[in-house]
């Protein structure tokens, strides 16, 4: 319990430090502060959760590795376009793999055959909405890449697709199970997806501190919800009963 309180204290402290550094324009320190938040949630999970899920554990580990690696970019001595492209591809590939394992965790909670039978219209509508959102995101990002960087656009496309697929499946999982665990998982998914969308706005539309602070708040909320759901069993009981 004492270790848990210490970790929670450091998470809160890192959030405060991130905000201070971001407002003061100290990008390296703000990025470094944020990069440690996911690893601390991972430590919290491995310390306090005894019945761990393999897929969720892999999600946390891979996401933590990807977050920590974002700081390494500041120490590079090679700023060539080829190096930056390779760094972008490898880093985002790790994030994609992390989200993939989280999707597998969500799929454990549903029966796809029953879902398609009972929520077919919902699935179609959600898929159509996802296609539109992916199109809008790629339209925003595309002009910022080099003309000959189709493979970078491909990575960004896959990233956005798997991110929205996570949100869709988390919502369907809540419809299907209607319990506290899947509700928390859905809240976590929607927070992390909105965090990613705001981050795109911060990187490619408006370089404003408020956007980066907002996406970090959603990021912390997402991992809080993910942590809380990991401590709840997936029982088919009504959350509001």
- Whether 7 maps to a domain, the answer reads no
- Whether 170 maps to a domain, the answer reads yes
- Whether 181 maps to a domain, the answer reads yes
pLDDT (tens, 9 = 90+) of the chain, 241 residues, equals 689 999 999 999 999 999 999 898 888 888 889 999 999 999 999 999 888 999 999 999 999 999 998 877 666 655 666 777 777 888 899 999 999 999 999 999 888 888 888 888 888 888 898 888 888 888 877 666 654 567 778 888 899 999 999 999 999 999 888 889 999 999 999 999 999 989 888 877 777 888 889 999 999 999 999 999 998 876 654 433 3
Enclosing domain of residue 202: 54-230
Split into its structural domains, the chain has a count of 1
- Whether 48 maps to a domain, the answer reads no
- Whether 113 maps to a domain, the answer reads yes
- Whether 19 maps to a domain, the answer reads no
CA angle 64, 209, 6 (to 5 degrees): 40
- Whether 106 maps to a domain, the answer reads yes
Instruction: Give the count of beta carbons closer than 10 Å to the beta carbon of residue 210.
Output: 12
Phi-psi region at 25: left, alpha or beta (left = phi > 0; alpha = psi -120 to 50): left
- Whether 235 maps to a domain, the answer reads no
């Amino acid at each position: 319990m004492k270790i848990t309180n210490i970790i929670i204290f450091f998470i809160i402290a890192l959030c405060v430090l991130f905000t201070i550094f971001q407002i003061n324009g100290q990008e390296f320190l703000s990025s470094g502060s944020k990069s440690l938040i996911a690893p601390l949630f991972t430590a919290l999970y491995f310390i306090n959760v005894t019945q761990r899920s393999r897929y969720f554990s892999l999600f946390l580990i891979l996401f933590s590795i990807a977050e920590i690696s974002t700081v390494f970019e500041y120490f590079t001595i090679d700023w060539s376009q080829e190096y930056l492209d390779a760094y972008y591809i490898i880093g985002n590939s790790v994030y994609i793999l992390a989200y993939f394992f989280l999707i597998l965790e969500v799929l454990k909670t549903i029966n796809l055959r029953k879902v398609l039978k009972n929520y077919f219209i919902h699935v179609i509508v959600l898929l159509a909405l996802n296609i539109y959102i992916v199109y809008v995101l790629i339209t925003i990002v595309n002009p910022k890449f080099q003309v000959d960087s189709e493979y970078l656009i491909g990575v960004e496309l896959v990233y956005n697709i798997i991110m929205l697929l996570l949100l869709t499946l988390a919502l369907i999982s809540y419809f299907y199970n209607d319990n506290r665990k899947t509700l928390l998982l859905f809240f976590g998914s929607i927070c992390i997806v909105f965090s990613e969308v705001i981050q795109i706005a911060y990187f490619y539309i408006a370089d404003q501190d408020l956007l980066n602070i907002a996406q970090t708040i959603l990021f912390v909320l997402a991992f809080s919800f993910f942590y809380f759901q990991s401590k709840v069993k997936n029982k088919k009981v009504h959350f509001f009963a």
